[in-house]
Amino acid sequence: MSAMLNEVPGYGLGLRQEHYNDFEETWPTVDWLEVLTENYLVPGSPPLHHLDCIRARYPLVMHGVSLSIGSTAPLNFDHLRQVRQLAERIEPRWISDHLCWTGTGGTNLHDLLPFPYSEESLRHVIDRVARVQDFLGRQILLENVSSYITYAHSVLSEWDFLAAVAERADCLILLDINNIYVSARHHTFAPETYLNAMPRARVRQFHLAGHSDHGDYIVDTHDAPVVDPIWALHRAAVRRFGPTASMIERDDDIPALAELLAELELAKAHAAAALADIEPGSHGTIDVLTGSSPGPSLHELQAALHSHVLEPTRSPPACSAGGASVQRERRIAIYADAYRLRAYE
């Protein structure tokens, strides 16, 4: 497996089709671009034509949403073969996807779903990451996702789970700063706890994005500018990890490229301020799990959430979300509502 030697320093943007012409006509100053893997898997498609043009000027990284590394469904090697072929064509500096599952039983829910952080899940994910990396011939980055529920059968925190996967599977980490904040609000933990648990040598990239705040819950929509709490957490991340490849991620309500470039300059300013006051720290050790986790299996819990998303009248999985029961039900419903919206679209 090849080592990841070609680091991309500095600040990038997610390449979106709304900005193809801007990049091809004006070639704005951006250190690198992140491309959504699934948008470029069809040979001969117009997006791939644009990508071939743009990659001549900018370093690229690939970011996927379909790996479903935590699913109990078999790995999709047809998809991975397409990913490998695209990587051979555009030569990305790295490839990333999400620490989540996206469906089971042949149905893709088109969402990034959490799973219990148990010993079974840890063994399962480590094995799947190793197989993916062997197939692609390179390390991958795994990104933390926003979550609205937790599972009663988790025996590790999400941050300790991600750190353990990275160390034991020898993969790298993409820290989404917004996603940490969203999950921290829902599950009432200090976001700095998450940052401090991450092994420095494994963190390769940051995502910066906005969200929709509904008061007692927030939704990771990535459709708004970065807000002050995210900037504050970004500064904390820079103080902990030092200079790290960072990008503005906007997935909906895409503004003019000039607006994103201005926001990218703001990210540079926040990072510079943090670096001026950087303090070395250390991360804790990762406990080795022993014994078995009680309760339903990973497959049974995924099947329960999967069924509840498709038919909300069915019983939800054993999970919690903090606060009153009505909050818990509302947060579980976020996944069902998102699926229905995507199905409608």
Q: DSSP letters of 152-192?
A: TT--S-HHHHHHHHHHHHT-EEEEEHHHHHHHHHHHT--HH
Give the model's pLDDT for residue 295.
Answer: 63
Q: 288 falls in which pLDDT band (50, 70, 90)?
A: very low
Residue pLDDT, tens place only, 174-198: 999 999 999 999 899 999 999 999 9
Q: 219 falls in which pLDDT band (50, 70, 90)?
A: confident
302 has pLDDT over 70: no
Task: Give dist(CA 125, CA 130) in Å, integer.
Answer: 9
> Domains in the chain, please, with CATH?
11-292 (3.20.20.150)
Q: 285 falls in which pLDDT band (50, 70, 90)?
A: very low
Of 43 and 161, the one with more pLDDT: 161
Q: Classify residue 215 as exposed, middle or buried by CB count within 10 Å of its CB (0-12, 13-18, 19+).
A: exposed
Mean pLDDT of the chain: 85
Give the model's pLDDT for residue 157.
Answer: 97
84 has pLDDT over 70: yes
Give the model's pLDDT for residue 5.
Answer: 42
Q: Classify residue 326 as exposed, middle or buried by CB count within 10 Å of its CB (0-12, 13-18, 19+).
A: exposed
Least Cα distance to 269 among 11, 31, 67 occurs for 11
Of 281 and 273, the one with more pLDDT: 273
Give the model's pLDDT for residue 86.
Answer: 98
